[in-house]
């Protein structure tokens, strides 16, 4: 099915923002997407209805129970989990990973090993480094190849596996350079060494179907504010592991999953927004079940985003003075691009674009290892331009025009209007 970007954009009131006389161009999706009207309505609806804490024997509490159950069911469909009992929530992906790393780290002995990827966001690197230090484990880094599309290959991981490896932490897609990783292959390698696999799917989830059954990962985390929802983190874990591991919790907290993994009272309005975000995505596809509709939606979204990515790649390759990091083609990447512009630092470039209503990020985007490996940490990192399903070809052209003018040392005051 063809993707109707105009109809999708009509669902997002934030896209009506203007900066001076210009319409805003949101190319900051890798740092957080905007939310559609159904998400806003769902969140305000909970606040208007009046939600009480869960577990009570009265109507407002039962309402909150229903909100939580609906969010678990929605995210189980989103990830392809066996059921809602494999889904837990937290403030964000980082806090969830810190908690899980503490629990998993307790099972390690001195001399055990954990493998982390240099391609990942620091939220899936540093928690494991800290857990290793606490328990006397050794950290091994799986490298990637900057000159070959910034790929993290299975053999890169296998090179640092051993009989002492207890966990492999990897990304599904790089939030810095857009590379998509062979998750199933690396998970298989981890399991072959007797290790668990913990997948950061924060950056992949807005762009493609997540399938925990197909990849056979043990844990997977995402953040709803990256897939058009509110600021809530989502954890998938194999139920047996969630049950067996000793979660960090206070005494009155549930002792069984998934509740044992959720610290304190959750934001019920946010969980309603998570459900609405999943349902919004499903509404972009077709099928008899929500999972089928999600798969269909991402097929259409993927084709639309591939067209945007190709348009950007064709244009950026023709601009003198702009260097692209990562894969030079559409295959094996999401439409997230890291570039350097000759003669201007990434922060100044982002500020100049922002002044004209073109919103992009600069710096390391918490991808500390990536920037160190690329050798750009000391120069301020890179400029990141990201497209999502509500982005348009005209917005790609605006980004390219801005890069061309920056590289030529020209003013951005005459940028085209998308």
Cis ω for the linkage preceding 51 (within 30 of 0)? no
Q: Reply yes or no on whether the pLDDT at 118 is more than 70.
A: yes
Which class for 38: exposed (0-12), middle (13-18), buried (19 or more C-beta within 10 A)? middle
Say if CB 130 and CB 104 are below 8 A apart.
no
pLDDT, tens digit, for every residue of 380-389?
A: 999 999 999 9
Percent composition of the chain: helix, strand, coil (DSSP 3-state, to 5): 45, 15, 40
Average pLDDT over residues 171-192: 98
**Cα–Cα–Cα angle for 189, 190, 195, rounded to 5 degrees:** 155
pLDDT, tens digit, for every residue of 28-84?
A: 999 999 999 999 999 999 999 999 999 999 999 999 999 999 999 999 999 999 999
pLDDT, tens digit, for every residue of 369-380?
A: 999 999 999 999
**pTM of the predicted structure, to 2 decimals:** 0.97
Which of 6-10, 212-216, 236-240, 248-252 is predicted with the least confidence, judged by mean pLDDT? 248-252
Mean per-residue pLDDT of the chain:
97
Q: What is the pLDDT of residue 147?
A: 84
Signed CA dihedral, 107, 112, 116, 121: sign only: positive
Contacts for 286 with CB less than 8 Å, ≥ 6 apart:
1, 292, 293, 296
Classify residue 87 by its DSSP letter.
E
Q: Reply yes or no on whether the pLDDT at 217 is more than 90.
A: yes
Distance CA 116, CA 78 (A): 25
Q: What is the pLDDT of residue 399?
A: 98
pLDDT, tens digit, for every residue of 300-328?
A: 999 999 999 999 999 999 999 999 999 99
Angle between helices 93-105 and 126-135 (to 10 degrees): 20
Domains for the chain: give ranges and CATH numbers. Answer: 5-31+299-407 (3.90.1150.10), 41-282 (3.40.640.10)
Say if CB 232 and CB 274 are below 8 A apart.
yes
**Cα–Cα–Cα angle for 215, 213, 143, rounded to 5 degrees:** 20
Q: What is the Rg, in whole angstroms, of the alpha carbon atoms belonging to the chain? A: 21
Q: What is the pLDDT of residue 1?
A: 60
pLDDT, tens digit, for every residue of 149-167?
A: 899 999 999 999 999 999 9
Contacts for 277 with CB less than 8 Å, ≥ 6 apart:
35, 36, 39, 224, 227, 228, 229, 230
Distance CA 125, CA 141 (A): 9
3-state secondary structure of 62: helix
Q: What is the pLDDT of residue 2?
A: 77
Report which of residues 2 and 230 the model is more confident about: 230
Nearest CA to 183 out of 214, 150, 139, 142 is that of: 214
């Amino acid at each position: 099915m063809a993707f109707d970007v105009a109809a999708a954009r009509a669902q997002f009131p934030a896209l009506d923002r203007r900066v001076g006389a210009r319409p805003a161009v949101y190319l900051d999706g890798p740092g957080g997407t905007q939310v559609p009207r159904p998400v806003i309505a769902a969140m305000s609806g909970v606040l208007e209805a009046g939600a009480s804490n869960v577990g009570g024997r009265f109507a407002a509490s039962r309402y909150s129970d229903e909100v939580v159950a609906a969010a678990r069911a929605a995210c189980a469909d989103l990830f392809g989990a066996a059921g809602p009992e494999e889904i837990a929530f937290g403030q964000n992906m980082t806090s969830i990973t810190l908690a899980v790393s503490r629990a998993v780290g307790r099972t390690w002995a001195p001399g055990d090993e954990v493998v982390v990827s240099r391609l990942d966001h620091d939220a899936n690197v540093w928690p494991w480094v800290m857990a290793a230090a606490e328990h006397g484990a050794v950290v091994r880094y799986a490298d990637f190849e900057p000159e070959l599309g910034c790929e993290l290959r299975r053999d890169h991981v296998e090179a640092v596996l051993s009989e002492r490896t207890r966990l492999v932490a990897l990304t599904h897609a790089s939030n810095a350079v857009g590379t998509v990783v062979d998750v199933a292959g690396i998970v298989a390698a981890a399991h072959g060494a007797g290790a668990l696999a913990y997948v950061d799917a924060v950056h992949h989830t807005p762009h493609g179907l997540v399938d925990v059954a197909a990849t056979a990962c043990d844990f997977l985390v995402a953040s709803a504010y990256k897939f058009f929802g509110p600021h809530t983190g989502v954890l998938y874990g194999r139920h047996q592991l969630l049950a067996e591991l000793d979660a960090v919790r206070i005494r009155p907290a549930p002792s069984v999953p998934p509740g044992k993994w959720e610290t304190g009272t959750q934001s019920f309005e946010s969980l309603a927004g998570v459900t609405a975000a999943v349902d919004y995505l499903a509404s972009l596809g077709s099928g008899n079940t929500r999972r089928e509709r999600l798969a269909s939606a991402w097929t259409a979204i993927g084709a639309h985003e591939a067209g945007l990515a190709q348009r950007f790649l064709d244009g950026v390759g023709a601009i003198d003075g702009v260097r692209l990091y990562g894969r030079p083609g559409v295959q094996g990447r999401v439409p997230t691009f890291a570039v350097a512009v000759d003669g201007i630092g990434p922060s100044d470039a982002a500020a100049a674009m922002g002044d004209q209503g073109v919103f992009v990020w600069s710096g390391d985007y918490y991808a500390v290892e990536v920037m160190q490996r690329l050798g750009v940490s000391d120069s301020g990192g890179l400029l990141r331009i990201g497209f999502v399903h509500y982005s348009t070809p005209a917005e790609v052209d605006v980004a390219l025009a801005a890069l061309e003018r920056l590289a030529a040392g020209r003013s951005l005051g005459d940028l085209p209007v998308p």
